[in-house]
Amino acid sequence: MNLSSIDIVIIFLYLAVIVGLGFWISKKASKNIQSYFLGDNNIKWYWLGFSNSSGMFDVSGTAFYVALLFVYGFKAAWLPWLWPIWNQIFVMVFLAIWIRRSNAMTGADWIIKRFGDDRGGRLAHIIVVLFAIVSVIGFIGYVFVGIGKFSATILPWDLSNPLLSSQQTYAVIIVALTTLYTVKGGMYSVVATEVLQYGILLVSCVLVVTYAVHDVNYTELHHRLPEGWNNFWPSWKLDVNWSNSFPQANQKVAEDGFTWFGALVMMMIAKGVFSSLAGPVPGFDMQRILSAKKPKEAAMLTGFTNLVLYIPLFMMVSALTLIGINYFMPVLQAQQKPDFEVILSKVVGGYLPAGVRGVVLAGLLASFMSTFSAFVNAAPAYLVNDFYKKYFKPNEAPSHYVKWSYVTSIAVILTGCIFGLFANSLSSLTLWISSALYGGYAAANVLKWIWWRFNGYGYFSGMLTGLISATFVPKLMGLLATAYFPQYADLFGSGIGTLISFFIILAFSMTGSVLGCLLTPAPSQQVLTSFYANTRPWGWWKPVARWVRAADPGFVPNRQLKWDILNILIGICWQMSMVIMPICFVFGYFEKGFLAMGVWLVCMVVLKFTWYDRLHITAAEDTNTVHPVAATVAIETE
């Protein structure tokens, strides 16, 4: 594809502005690691919300969603539950508040506050640092593959060389540009550039949607779509039938393992409860929460992230898919084994007019850079603050830790890129991260919230068992299936197969967590009292609640469980309506679109009373960031 002069000017102007802005802001981040990783807890919650949503709006995810919507139609709205996307609702409703009350710098720092700084606590601390690095490297590899595939397909220059393919070379160049301002500027640069990038993404979205729908004959379009494509509600067996027009798409469904759709949705719901209750993995999402000024604002920024993310994201996904169906489908139909993951790049490169194409390219580059910079900012916090500073150099000058943050950032980036070089596809990485890796994370991280007896040894053994299982269980299942059930071998590399892996890994990890906990002593009363008084979770905490009330008779335990469950159910409906509503409108199913809009508005009104108005209770409780009992215990411990 030959880019026009205006497209090239727009792209290079964007790159110059974004790198320049990152360097200009970077002076604020050089004081100490508090400013470098958390922006001094002085960034407005709505800017953090824009930043968080921009970090989730990535090229790889957009390409993945376009491929899903193209093949599965309206039922594609359910497939993001593989992550699950509604973990953000759990965070919005209560987890963001619990996390922010810790005053920690990272997720690993939070672990010490939960389990203490004895041997068990330190083992838990080390394993969560290890998990954070593994997950960040996995995500960097994921976005590396996505931007490489996108750039090589859409940009006109062949950059292949003896060492790297053109796809890999493009990825390396764009990663290097993003690294320049991310490493130098820390959280301040990340948030500032991501807010600008969100604005570019929003403009790109409006332009793409306008172009996609300006001359569509919806009657003809609906006639060409396969039977079942516009059915939203899940059936036990997938009822989207491409046999008459595009049989290769049916093969894609079989390879993904999504034929038995009802079973898939049920497994995704079960997985989603565990994954969501475990809380955000140690990464950029948790860093945004910990960067908020107050617990109430941490909840608000997460709710704002949901509000400003899903409608623009799925408007763009829908518009690009619509263009693909109208113009690019004949090309795919002519291929024996089409690659649906290149629909995004082919549509942008071949079917958008000059100027619009340049803005959209800049927007998609922005989506990659914002996601990448968010992960890069998260990983060094664990290595520098939670490992290097804690165990090796605890008393150095602030500038020393900032310099080491630069070094570790570059090391993590290089490792993630190497991981990306050997990844097979976006789908394989998506399924491994969302199922196997999360399966190893969920058990121990659910128990840490709800069970007072759970200790650092249990956390360490559960996470270690989970990490080992996530590495070997999917491969072992594939080998066993090939040897004994060859007719089902392909299933174990697909959607349902990876969900089965999730539950097997979860069982191993849960067993390791419980055994490691029960065979070792409980955390000290001081640690438990301090954590519970400050965080105030619900769950099985009665003995600890008695200890806190003995020191503070006026202490009121968390009685929000029923409200939280109600708000989670309403929030999932609210979020789901924001996913399906733009799909309906862009594809001309206006009656369904207005129905989804009605659900969206009703859920927002209900959440205003059941969630937002009740945040004043949190604000009152958090007048003192550290509960007096927790502060007293901390002094006694010192």
Nearest Cα neighbor of 234 from 256, 259, 265 is 265
Average pLDDT over residues 388-412: 78
Residue 624 neighbours by CB distance under 10 Å: 10
Question: Is it the case that residue 289 has pLDDT exceeding 80?
Answer: yes
Residue 220 neighbours by CB distance under 10 Å: 9
What is the share, in percent, of the chain residues with pLDDT greater than 70?
81
What is the C-alpha to C-alpha distance for residues 458 and 453, in angstroms, rounded to an integer?
A: 10
Number of folded domains that form the chain: 1
Q: Coil, strand or helix: which one is 462?
A: helix
CA 71 to chain centre: 23
Question: Is it the case that residue 633 has pLDDT exceeding 50?
Answer: no
CA distances to 27, 38, 83, 147, 276 from 21, rounded to whole Å, are 11, 18, 32, 22, 35
Average pLDDT over residues 501-512: 88
Q: At 195, is the pLDDT very low, low, confident or very high (cuts 50, 70, 90)?
A: confident
Q: Which amino acid is at 479?
A: L
Question: Is it the case that residue 145 has pLDDT exceeding 60?
Answer: yes
Here the tokens at position 460 are: 């360490």
What is the C-alpha to C-alpha distance for residues 124 and 130, in angstroms, rounded to an integer?
A: 10
pLDDT for res 8: 85
CA distances to 52, 530, 624 from 629, rounded to whole Å, are 33, 7, 11
What is the C-alpha to C-alpha distance for residues 477 and 490, in angstroms, rounded to an integer?
A: 11
Q: At 249, is the pLDDT very low, low, confident or very high (cuts 50, 70, 90)?
A: confident
Proportion of the chain in helix, strand, coil states, percent, rounded to 5: 80, 0, 20
**In this structure, are residues 62 and 365 in contact, taking their beta carbons and an 8 Å threshold?**
no
Average pLDDT over residues 512-522: 93
Tell me if the bond preceding 280 is cis, omega within 30° of 0.
no
In a domain, 602, yes or no: yes
Question: Is it the case that residue 510 has pLDDT exceeding 70?
Answer: yes
Q: Coil, strand or helix: which one is 602?
A: helix
Q: Which residues contact 539 (CB under 8 A, 6 or more apart)?
A: 449, 450, 451, 452
Q: Which residues contact 378 (CB under 8 A, 6 or more apart)?
A: 132, 136, 282, 283, 284, 286, 287
pLDDT for res 624: 46
pLDDT digits (tens, 9 = 90+) for 62-78: 888 899 999 999 999 99
In a domain, 30, yes or no: yes
Q: When comparing pLDDT for 230 and 167, which is higher? A: 230
296 DSSP 8-state letter: H
What is the C-alpha to C-alpha distance for residues 36 and 20, in angstroms, rounded to an integer?
A: 18
Here the tokens at position 197 are: 């990038």
Which CATH number covers residue 175?
1.20.1730
In a domain, 457, yes or no: no
- Greatest mean pLDDT among 143-147, 396-400, 411-415, 487-491 lies in 411-415
Q: When comparing pLDDT for 20 and 353, which is higher? A: 353
Q: When comparing pLDDT for 460 and 254, which is higher? A: 460
Q: When comparing pLDDT for 189 and 158, which is higher? A: 158
pLDDT for res 604: 95
Average pLDDT over residues 2-31: 74
**In this structure, are residues 619 and 296 in contact, taking their beta carbons and an 8 Å threshold?**
yes
Range of the domain at 300: 5-423+561-613
Question: Is it the case that residue 590 has pLDDT exceeding 50?
Answer: yes
What is the C-alpha to C-alpha distance for residues 540 and 526, in angstroms, rounded to an integer?
A: 17
Average pLDDT over residues 573-595: 95
In a domain, 32, yes or no: yes
pLDDT digits (tens, 9 = 90+) for 363-388: 877 777 766 776 776 667 777 777 77
What is the C-alpha to C-alpha distance for residues 94 and 50, in angstroms, rounded to an integer?
A: 20
In a domain, 458, yes or no: no
The upper half-sphere exposure of residue 612, i.e. CA atoms within 13 Å in the direction of its Cβ, equals: 13
Nearest Cα neighbor of 292 from 615, 635, 627 is 615
Here the tokens at position 338 are: 């089409």
Let me know how long the chain is. 638
Given its phi and psi angles, is residue 161 left (phi above 0), alpha (psi -120 to 50 degrees) or beta?
beta
pLDDT for res 38: 54
**In this structure, are residues 291 and 48 in contact, taking their beta carbons and an 8 Å threshold?**
yes
- Greatest mean pLDDT among 152-156, 269-273, 323-327, 569-573 lies in 569-573
Q: Which residues contact 573 (CB under 8 A, 6 or more apart)?
A: 599, 603
pLDDT for res 250: 84
Question: Is it the case that residue 144 has pLDDT exceeding 80?
Answer: no
Q: At 620, is the pLDDT very low, low, confident or very high (cuts 50, 70, 90)?
A: low
Residue 599 neighbours by CB distance under 10 Å: 17
The upper half-sphere exposure of residue 329, i.e. CA atoms within 13 Å in the direction of its Cβ, equals: 20
In a domain, 88, yes or no: yes
Average pLDDT over residues 555-580: 93
Q: Which amino acid is at 166?
A: S
Residue where the block lists tokens 């820390």: 186
Q: At 635, is the pLDDT very low, low, confident or very high (cuts 50, 70, 90)?
A: very low
In a domain, 71, yes or no: yes
pLDDT digits (tens, 9 = 90+) for 196-224: 778 888 888 899 999 999 888 999 999 98
Here the tokens at position 7 are: 């497209």
pLDDT digits (tens, 9 = 90+) for 92-133: 999 999 988 877 767 677 888 889 888 998 898 888 887 777
- What integer best gives the mean pLDDT of the chain? 80
User: Which of these ranges, 68-72, 334-338, 506-510, has the smallest mean pLDDT?
Assistant: 334-338
Across the strands, what pairs with 540? 451
pLDDT digits (tens, 9 = 90+) for 417-429: 777 776 655 455 5
What is the C-alpha to C-alpha distance for residues 64 and 71, in angstroms, rounded to an integer?
A: 11
Tell me if the bond preceding 394 is cis, omega within 30° of 0.
no
Question: Is it the case that residue 600 has pLDDT exceeding 90?
Answer: yes
Q: When comparing pLDDT for 153 and 94, which is higher? A: 94
What is the C-alpha to C-alpha distance for residues 39 and 618, in angstroms, rounded to an integer?
A: 23
What is the C-alpha to C-alpha distance for residues 72 and 225, in angstroms, rounded to an integer?
A: 11
pLDDT for res 637: 38
Nearest Cα neighbor of 617 from 545, 564, 568, 551 is 564
Here the tokens at position 59 are: 């090229």
Question: Is it the case that residue 560 has pLDDT exceeding 50?
Answer: yes
In a domain, 257, yes or no: yes
pLDDT for res 581: 96
Model-level pTM greater than 0.85? Answer: no
pLDDT for res 579: 94
pLDDT for res 578: 95
pLDDT digits (tens, 9 = 90+) for 439-495: 677 889 899 999 999 999 999 999 888 878 877 777 777 676 666 666 555 555 555
